[in-house]
Amino acid sequence: MGKRGRSLEKSARIRTLADLAKIAGVNTATVSRALADSPLVKTDTKARIQALAQEHGFRPNQMAKRLRTQRTGVVGIVVPLGHEKRQHLSDPFFMTMLGYLADALTENGYDIMLSRVIPDTDDWLEAIIGSGMLDGVLLIGQSDQFEAIERVAAHYRPLVAWGSHWPEQRHCSVGTDNFAGGQMAGQCLVAGGARRIAFLGEVRTPEIGQRYAGLCAALQAEGLAAPRQFDVHLASDVMEQEISAHIAEVGDAIDGVFAASDVIAMTALRVLADRGVVVPDRIRVIGYDDIPLAAQTVPRLTTIRQDVATGAKAMVDALFARIAGEDAASVQMNPVLVRRDSA
Amino acid sequence: MGKRGRSLEKSARIRTLADLAKIAGVNTATVSRALADSPLVKTDTKARIQALAQEHGFRPNQMAKRLRTQRTGVVGIVVPLGHEKRQHLSDPFFMTMLGYLADALTENGYDIMLSRVIPDTDDWLEAIIGSGMLDGVLLIGQSDQFEAIERVAAHYRPLVAWGSHWPEQRHCSVGTDNFAGGQMAGQCLVAGGARRIAFLGEVRTPEIGQRYAGLCAALQAEGLAAPRQFDVHLASDVMEQEISAHIAEVGDAIDGVFAASDVIAMTALRVLADRGVVVPDRIRVIGYDDIPLAAQTVPRLTTIRQDVATGAKAMVDALFARIAGEDAASVQMNPVLVRRDSA
DNA sequence: GCCTTTTGTGCAAACGATTGCAATATAGCT
DNA sequence: AGCTATATTGCAATCGTTTGCACAAAAGGC
């Protein structure tokens, strides 16, 4: 006839080290060490405490642990959306990257804190870092925030960004050689017979800007006219209209399209199909990234592959090195042309 | 002699409330209240302290704050991958969902902790919850972990899952009526003239199982034969081969395909194109989800839309209610048929 | 047996914030 | 001026761990 009816068997829940210490008849210190599997505590005491913990489903409070150890075990993954306010966290390339990063981090016992940031104030990165919650930060893409990243990198080491690398750059970045990638795309289009080429994508961000630069260089090397460049927003609801308008504008004046990403390329493919333009016969199309779905389009998309898996691994390796206080240089990987049916 | 003091502008960094309190000449309590914009502290003191904090770029240590307040301000987003060990966090539907969830949570001042879990031990959810790091948990998909979720939901309230709802279910779920969606898909295929239908997808998870059940019901209502069902793995590198094999196996025996997700449908479209099968004339294809890229396929994919945006909002609303101690019922939304060109 | 080592445990001080309560300064009234 | 009500600020306890150090018990050496 106890008043508290529901706590039948299990007496008060074990929530803290102290609780557990009490029922184990030892000090919290011992419990703490036992759970950490410290060699300091006697083997049977350890076993007994661990069993007790298991039985009561006890898990130490992470907040307290982190406060005490000054190690959070959390790394932040941040997607800066500076140039693309309406974009949702949905670009398949970034998402695949996120998946691999998540894998690598979880494997190493780190938790992930995800932020999708629209850099409105200029201290967005400082805010994330200064919260004291993070052992390190991974940026997926530099967006148009190169300056902000540089500034922070000057005094904050455990920071690695996916993206471009510039000669004078201070922050650690991992990425493919976008200039080379752009060149390859250009050469591929030209080799297929294309002469008048359009580039679909905003060139304001370093990554895409370099791809565009590579394309220009390739065309120039062949003695061809500079490409026409069109801005394209990544928000899915406007992209198709924009591309459609651009294609309509250039009409027959082009015979090749280099899209800044596969999603853009796929949309372009769709728009061209609508207009009855046969790809690649009439217009050749090449994308960038090689997202999984790129192999499933009709026609299959020719594209420049960025190897996400090794890229993610490189990012995490670099980050761990920097967390450990070592130094880690930027890495620039080589993109590879994946020749399929669209160019 | 002047005392050592404020003249050293660049002196020791301000890291703690105490540091700031010292240079402000007040107690930590006042600083704490000032930064929290408490009405208890005098307006000018407040302003002075805030200015000082700003100037030194001071941000309070979150770990300490959370330990003290017992509120973490973090919600966990967990993607259970029970039935699909090789899947990376990459299904566009889940990713779009993640984006919307991230938006809604960040808007409300919550941080996100992302876990991609392969439920190897059966207390994976307990482990996540018991860490004391999370104010609440959002599950993106139930996978085949219905039992585990139910078990935890019995004693842990702030938990909301995307997925199916069963009559006897205890945990709060938000999702579309998958049975109805399956029915709609079936009816659409039949209305277009299809008679022998294949279902592409594993029926082990409740969500997809219900879609399949809906399809069966629709066919039965029309007096048609039961559909053929094929397992398909979500890992992108094997999916195409699997589907290809399945299509080859049934050969001319089918004239309609209902894919459990748009990604599967897109791959099916590709496979059919390879075989020279004209969609929808020879085989009609319908997908599920309506991911952004579904509108960009050739031919454009007919599909059953799940409204991610309102779904995510509903999940977050329910979670907040539950965090606040209120009760929130499961919600089941109506899927809608998006008729495009593939069926 | 006495004096070192070696093992195990316990004590208590951090970690850096928040907050109930006490204390003081200021204002408001006769 | 005297006294109360109110606006500010300070004190100190607390959140739940970890860990340096002291300490006790057992073991080893002579």
pLDDT in tens, B4-34: 333 333 456 788 999 999 999 999 999 999 9
Mean pLDDT of A61-75: 88
Give tens-digit pLDDT for A131-180.
Answer: 777 899 999 988 888 999 999 998 888 999 999 999 889 999 999 999 99
The reply to whether B27 and B91 lie within a common domain is no
> What is the distance in angstroms between the CA of the first residue and the CA of the last residue of chain B?
89
CATH number reported for the structural domain that contains residue B104 in this entry: 3.40.50.2300
Give tens-digit pLDDT for A201-230.
Answer: 999 889 999 999 999 999 999 999 999 999
The token pair at B265 is 């449908």
The pLDDT tens digits along chain B (343 residues) read 333 333 333 456 788 999 999 999 999 999 999 999 999 999 999 999 999 998 888 889 888 998 899 888 889 998 887 666 555 556 788 888 988 898 888 777 788 888 877 777 777 888 788 777 789 999 998 888 899 999 999 888 999 999 999 988 999 999 999 999 999 999 999 999 999 999 999 998 899 999 999 999 999 999 999 999 999 988 777 899 999 999 999 888 999 999 999 999 999 999 999 999 999 999 999 999 999 889 989 899 999 999 999 999 999 999 999 988 888 999 999 999 999 999 9
CATH number reported for the structural domain that contains residue A24 in this entry: 1.10.260.40
Domain for residue B7, yes or no?
Answer: no
pLDDT at A83: 64
Domain for residue B6, yes or no?
Answer: no
Give me the CA B53–C1' D16 separation in Å, rounded.
28
The reply to whether A28 and A115 lie within a common domain is no
Please state, in angstroms and rounded to a whole number, the distance separating the CA atoms of residues A116 and A91.
12
The reply to whether A159 and A195 lie within a common domain is no
User: pLDDT band for position A5 (50/70/90)?
Assistant: very low
The reply to whether B112 and B45 lie within a common domain is no
Nearest to residue A163, comparing CAs of A113, A97, A220? A97
Q: Which residues of B touch A270 (CB under 8 A)?
A: 295-298, 300
The reply to whether B159 and B219 lie within a common domain is no
Domain for residue B169, yes or no?
Answer: yes
pLDDT at B172: 96
Please state, in angstroms and rounded to a whole number, the distance separating the CA atoms of residues A227 and A331.
29
Cβ under 8 Å to A: B residues 65-84: 66-67, 72, 74, 77
- Look at residue A303 and tell me whether its pLDDT is greater than 90: yes
**Residue B46: domain span:** 17-60
Domain for residue A137, yes or no?
Answer: yes
The reply to whether B56 and B116 lie within a common domain is no
Q: What's the domain count of chain A? A: 3
Which helix or strand (DSSP H or E) is residue B100 part of?
A: helix B92-107
* Interacting residues of B151 by C-beta distance below 8 A, sequence separation 6+: none
A131 and chain B in contact, CB less than 8 A:
yes
Domain for residue A10, yes or no?
Answer: no
The reply to whether B301 and B314 lie within a common domain is no
Domain for residue B226, yes or no?
Answer: yes
Strands of B284-289's sheet in order across = B228-230, B197-200, B256-259, B284-289, B302-305, B336-338
Domain for residue A12, yes or no?
Answer: no
The reply to whether B230 and B282 lie within a common domain is yes
The reply to whether B165 and B185 lie within a common domain is no
The token pair at B266 is 């897109």
Shortest Cα distance from A267 to chain B (angstroms)? 6
- Look at residue A1 and tell me whether its pLDDT is greater than 50: no
User: pLDDT band for position A84 (50/70/90)?
Assistant: low
Burial class (CB in 10 A: 0-12, 13-18, 19+), B335: buried
The reply to whether A258 and A289 lie within a common domain is yes
The answer, yes or no, to whether the previous bond of B280 is cis (omega within 30 of 0) is yes
Three-state DSSP at A68 gives helix
The reply to whether A52 and A170 lie within a common domain is no
The token pair at B254 is 């089918």
Q: Which residues of A touch B130 (CB under 8 A)?
A: 57-59
pLDDT at A12: 65
The reply to whether A182 and A301 lie within a common domain is yes
Domain for residue B78, yes or no?
Answer: yes
Mind giving me the DSSP string for A303-343? EEE--HHHHHHHHHHHHHHHHTT-----EEEPPEEE--S--
